[in-house]
Amino acid sequence: MAAPSGAASCEDFAEFQELLRVMRTIDDRIVHELNTTIPTASFVGKIDAGQTCKELYQSLMDAHSSRERIIKNCIAQTSSVVKTLREEREKAQDDVALLKQLRKEQTKLKLMQSELNVEEVVNDRSWKVFNERCRIHYKPPKSQ
């Protein structure tokens, strides 16, 4: 369930969203992952649940930080484009095409900012499920 390692394209919002969707696979499948890897009471001796939970914890941490980094990077890039377009707009107030481009970029920026909220919800859900199933087997470092 490794996340894509390629750089995010911030120009096309649909492509940006698709990248995040693919990167959220680990969060979407966490219940299945825990059900198939964390043993029930009758199978406790056959699988090292502590190690499994530790590995899943690290995978979640890596996925969450990668997505947050990509989202914030795209927000910064798009904010820069919006700032540049605003400055150009100040100089050429009659340019309708420039205004249209500025509005398009502002909308994209708002959508990207809303992805931070989506990310928070996805992460909270994953940590809740993780803690319900792994709290007995693995205690994560206090950073989370």
Ranges in the chain, pLDDT < 50: 1-6, 144
The C-alpha atoms of residue 46 and residue 18 are separated, in whole angstroms, by 38
Question: What tokens appear for 55 in the block?
Answer: 């590995």
H or E segment to which residue 93 belongs: none
The C-alpha atoms of residue 49 and residue 20 are separated, in whole angstroms, by 29
Percent share of the chain, pLDDT over 70: 88
Instruction: Please write the tens of the pLDDT for every residue from 102-123.
Output: 999 999 999 999 999 999 999 9
Model pLDDT, residue 45: 63
Which residue segments constitute the domains of the chain, with CATH numbers given? 13-134 (1.20.58)
Model pLDDT, residue 143: 66
